[in-house]
Chain A
Amino acid sequence: MKQINAVLEGAGSMVMLLLRAGSYAGSLPRQWARFVEQCYLIGYTTLPIVTILSFFIGTVLALEAGYSMEGFGAKEFIGSLVGLSMARELGPMMTSVLLAGRVGSAITAELASMKVYHEVDALTTMNIPPAKILVLPRLAAVLVMMPVLIVFANIVGWFGGSVVARYVSSVGISSESYFAALRHYTKFKDVMNGMAKAEVFGFVVVLVCCNIGLNTRGGPREIGAAVTRAVVTSLILILILDYFVTKLLM
């Protein structure tokens, strides 16, 4: 019962935080500097790790597809498998997981420490809503940066697959054949589908991490626990939402 109450309390506070942040949407242009800073942290600094991860996801996909499809004589379809998998599923999901691990944890840690050290209380005392200056710029930044990260992840992943398809002898198909199959079966709507998913995942990750950070109670030890809780909750929500959003977008 206590667990259920905690889940419901967390869901309720998250919705309330979203509504409060949304009510200050008009103030976003005046927070341009904060918005750009968050874009830098969420997008620019996350790009290297997204690129590395996506490249190797593409390579592994092509390798596994080559191994599996060889028995069917269907190796020519590796491009389509990598293309669709990256665009529709792995690109958005793995980028969101990375976002939760790298950016979400940082957000929770920052907000939790501000809460623990009463900086949030000070802001409230000065009539500066935390949702306005701490949450809104992050939510806006993640909405802007996620599509950019996703398109990078997709292209790098596709390229990684083509490298394996061309240079690994057990796969051994030409780049032309790989990209022809990719182009033939992967449509731009699949890429858009993935971007829509990523927007939802990214938004939820940032919202959850902000909420858990702002609701941290106790001493400095709670900061670490809050970070762990935020990342775990984000990952679980990503996987649960993945099913429903995929179903919705089909």
Chain B
Amino acid sequence: MTALLTIIIVLFVAIALWQMVKIFDLAQVGASNSQIADDKDNRINGYLMIGFLIFIYAITIVSFIYLGDLPLVSNSASEHGPGIDNLMIISMVVIFIVQIVTQFLLHYFAFKYKGEKGRKALFYADNNTLEAVWTGIPVIVLAGLIIYGLFTWNDIMTIDEEEDPMIIELYAQQFNWKARYGGDDNVLGKANVRLIDLDRANILGVDEDDPNAQDDVIVTELHLPKGRPVLFKMRSQDVLHSAYMPHFRAQMNCVPGMVTQFAFTPTVTTEEMRQTQDMKDKVQNINKIRAEKSKELTANGEEALEPYEFDYLLLCNKICGKSHYNMQMKIVVETEEEFNAWIKEQKTFANSLN
């Protein structure tokens, strides 16, 4: 019944709007009935073009003031992060200069040359020099960006095995993450979904006969030692997932049937990150928002939200089904000693089987 009523109300609103438009339409009958723009239309819309230009600049400025602190373009937590951030800032500067200039020209010309009866436009069909200039400038600017970008990309994607990275497998399934460490030998045991044995709690399909697998450690919270290169090997057991670690500027898809990889070196521990001024401000802001929302919730007799404390996260960033929006794993970056102490407490694969 409510459904029907709502549809009727929505329909009424639409009809009301329709009628208002109609009244507006009919009210114009007296005016000149030509539906072609005249000088007055040109003038009004010309001024509106300038207004629109100001609106574009305004929304840019407002967005920067109110949302400029959202972006992850500073305080990255990995060694390659600042490289990406620099490239991002340079690209943004280029983009904004071009944006401001071209939008100005477009809207200013639309205003300046608004039509007047009796005036004739300039017949100006071609100019090879001009066109060479605005082909050439993008070529040069883009060449610079491409070269810088490719160096950054190669730097990130080239994995230096000699640095002795710690090998960690990220394992995705609908809708959670697991991590598997190579253990003392830093070698992952072989694995395949056909070896999954839920009765024996072998949920990752690790080969029980592989000697390298015995000391593997499987956990649901990812711990990383600060300063040590980590090489992630990604697997998925069902559909595509994507391991997204925004604070480390890292992302790679997890593809069933193949192993993908991504490597980075964490440089800031969770504790250090919490102490940075940027993060303190952000957390304070978020908690203010949460406190306000909690007031609303408690008024309705619901539970209040817990205050937020910063943690690094691994998110799923490839549509993977119903609970895609809640597929996450906490990441803890800590000192080498803390890490060693933590991993000692974890069960090895051999000991975790039923």
Q: Do A and B come from one complex?
A: no
Interface residues of A (CB under 8 A from B): none
Interface residues of B (CB under 8 A from A): none
